[in-house]
Amino acid sequence: MSDFPIFDTHAHYDDEAFDEDRQELLAELPRLGIGRVVNMGSDLAGCRGTIALTEAWDYIYGAIGVHPSDCGEMTEEDLEWLRQECRREKIVAVGEIGLDYYWPEPDHEIQKKWFRRQLGLARELGLPVVIHSREAAQDTYEIMCEENAGEIGGVVHCFSYSPEMAERFVRMGFYIGIGGVLTFKNARKIREVAERIPLSRIVLETDCPYLAPVPHRGKRNNSSYLRYVVPALAEIKGVSADEVRRVTWENGRELYRMEE
């Protein structure tokens, strides 16, 4: 095994897909080379599940926030709850938040409202943000510019846009999250992104249980499968797998402002 552990910067181990074997899997991951995981809240129940995971496992940290697809019923009371819970020691970011125009609901204006409010919350608390953006590149970028998100910092996770858009987010000071999609045969766009932006601005992520890499595509994903993403990224960048592990570990630590 490599001398360098892998940092999974974005996972959903609170998801029901893990209900049957969550404890066994999480106990095994450190032996499989996973050194740290940040679990994401996407709705309030997921935020509570994330907090519970951070309390149960030393190597798991959390981000809490309301995903754009779940913000339709969000209230000021929910935002206040997030404000209080984000002060927990192992909550390291506000997320995942952003815009998702793949489905017609929630209304785009409601999504924009809560995206701005949660960016403001992150600024207030001094935390980075985890950005979810699907089929909403321009609006996401414009809101981040208007809200001076470069002063907040964070990551655009599961990146799905052009290399040019990736460069814009990097210039803003954001990291780009790359995972199993990099191994897909039809993943030309994300390979171009990985070629174009420096390794120093890339973090590894699974988004598990989703987006498992080849050879497990279509199955339930988990952090240990990042061992298939590392060599794919190493080949694109012309460096060793150990170098990818080392640099992305440091990037994850800097993204979430963690002490060594």
Q: What is the mean pLDDT of residues 111-131?
A: 98
Closest CA to 38 of 204, 199, 216: 204
Q: Across residues 156-164, what is the average pLDDT?
A: 96
Assigned domain for 199 exists: yes
**pLDDT for the residue numbered 259:** 83
Let me know if residue 152 belongs to a domain: yes
φ, ψ for residue 258 (rounded to 5)? -100, 140
CB 18 within 8 A of CB 234: no
Using one digit for the tens of pLDDT, what is the confidence trace for 208-229?
999 999 999 999 999 999 999 9
Does residue 1 form part of some domain? no
Coil, strand or helix: which one is 73?
A: coil
Q: Taking a C-beta distance cutoff of 8 angstroms, is the pair 18, 260 a contact?
A: no
pLDDT band for position 29 (50/70/90)?
Answer: very high
The answer to the question of residue 128 being in a domain is yes
> Is 177 contained in some domain?
yes
Report residue 89 CA to chain centroid gap. 19
Spatial distance between the Cα atoms of 210 and 18, rounded to a whole number of angstroms: 12
Who contacts 225 (Cβ-Cβ below 8 Å, separation ≥6)?
180, 206, 208, 212, 213, 216
Contacts 24+ apart (CB under 8 A), 166-171: 166/193, 166/196, 166/197, 167/196, 167/197, 168/141, 169/141, 169/144, 170/197, 170/198, 170/201
Task: Give the pLDDT of residue 3.
Answer: 74
SS3 state at 177: strand
pLDDT exceeds cutoff 60 at 1: no
- At residue 203's C-alpha, the angle toward residues 6 and 152, to 5°, is 130
φ, ψ for residue 26 (rounded to 5)?
-65, -30
Range of weakest confidence among 1-5, 70-74, 77-81, 256-260 = 1-5
95 assigned to some structural domain = yes
Looking at every residue in the chain, the average pLDDT score rounds to 97
Helices of type H across 30-162: 44-56, 76-85, 108-125, 137-146
Predicted pLDDT of residue 2: 66
| Whole-number pLDDT of residue 232 | 98
The number of CA neighbours under 13 Å toward the Cβ of 199 is: 20
**Contact criterion met (CB below 8 Å) for 66 and 99:** no
Identify whether 192 is part of a domain: yes
Range of the domain at 142: 6-255
User: What's the helix, strand, coil split of the chain in %, to 5?
Assistant: 50, 15, 35
Residues 225-242 as b/e (b if ≥16 CB within 10 A, e otherwise) read bbbbbbebbbebbeeebe
Once rounded to an integer, what is the mean pLDDT over residues 235-240? 98
Instruction: Say if residue 168 is exposed, middle or buried (CB neighbours under 10 Å; 0-12, 13-18, 19+).
Output: middle
In the chain, the number of structural domains is 1
260 is a domain residue: no
Please give the model's pTM, rounded to 2 decimal places.
Answer: 0.97
Query: In this predicted model, what pLDDT tens digit does every residue of 93-116 receive, in sequence order?
Result: 999 999 999 999 999 999 999 999
Where residue 217 sits, what CATH number does that domain have?
3.20.20.140
